[in-house]
Amino acid sequence: MSCLDRSLIVGLAPFEGLNPAELDRMIGQARSLRIAKDKAVFEQEQDAHSFFLLLDGHVRVIKTTPEGEEVAVRYITPGELMGIASALGRTTYPASAVAVVDCVVLAWPSGLWSEFASAFPSFGANTYRTVGNRLQDAHTRVIEMSTEQVDQRVAHALLKLVNQSGRRTDEGLLIDFPLSRQDIAEMTGTTLHTVSRLMTAWEEKGLVRSGRQKVIVVEPHRLLMLAESRV
C-alpha cells in the first residue's frame, strides 16, 4: 500500500478542483521514483506503461528525428505531468524525457489515466489543457522557425525558460537548471556556433551572463524588445 501523502499533489495545477478524498484515491495508486541525472524517465517509442508527475528537478523532452538527430522539444518543471500518451490516444511515448538533474517523480500505470479522467472530470480537463498548451507551443515554434531571425528565436527561448524556472539573483534572472549553448541551439533550430556568437555579443551588451551550463538574463526587458524586433 502506498504511504504517499496527498500533500505532495494538493495545489498543483493538474489536480485543481479535486477534494481530499479524490486526492487520496489518486496518490494512493502512485509510486515515487528517483531518476538520476542524465537518466531517462521514459524513451521515445517505448510502450507507454506509465504517466508521471515531476515533483522535484527538471526534465528535458527530446525528440529523435528519422535521421537520428536529437531535438530538445521543451523542459518540464516541478508540478507538470509528462508521459501522458493516453491523452493523445497513443500506446507509445512520442518523445524521450531525460533528467537534467537528479529528479523525483510520481508514476501511475497508464491504464489508470482513463479511469481518473472519467472519475475526476477536472483532472481530465486539466490534462487536456496541458496537452493543448503544449500543442500551441509546438505551433508557435514552427511559426518562429519560419518567420523569425535566429536572434529572435534564441531570445524567445531564453525568455520562455526564464518564465518557466527563472530565479532572481543579484546578477539577474537565473535559469534554474543546467543549460548549455548546445541545448539552446537544439531548441531554436540553429547551430552551436551561432548561439555562441549571439551569447557573446549579448554578454558584451549586458543582456545576459553565461558560464558552463549556466545562463542568467540580466536585462529581460531589452531581450524582449530584441525578440519582438523593437531594437
Place of cell 494538493: 10
CB burial of residue 67 (10 Å; 0-12, 13-18, 19+): exposed
Phi and psi based region of residue 88 (left: phi greater than 0; alpha: psi -120 to 50; beta: remaining): alpha
Low-confidence ranges of the chain (pLDDT < 70): 1-2, 230-231
Nearest to 216, CA basis, from 159, 164, 133: 159
Q: What is the pLDDT of residue 230?
A: 61
User: 76: which strand partners?
Assistant: 59
Q: What is the pLDDT of residue 19?
A: 96
Q: What is the pLDDT of residue 135?
A: 86
Cβ(75)–Cβ(58) under 8 Å? yes
Q: What is the pLDDT of residues 41-85, one digit of tens each?
A: 999 999 999 999 999 999 999 999 888 888 888 999 999 999 999
3-class DSSP state of 102: coil
Buried b (16+ CB within 10 A) or exposed e, 181-209: bebbbbbbebeeebbeebbeebeeeebbb
Q: What is the pLDDT of residue 231?
A: 53
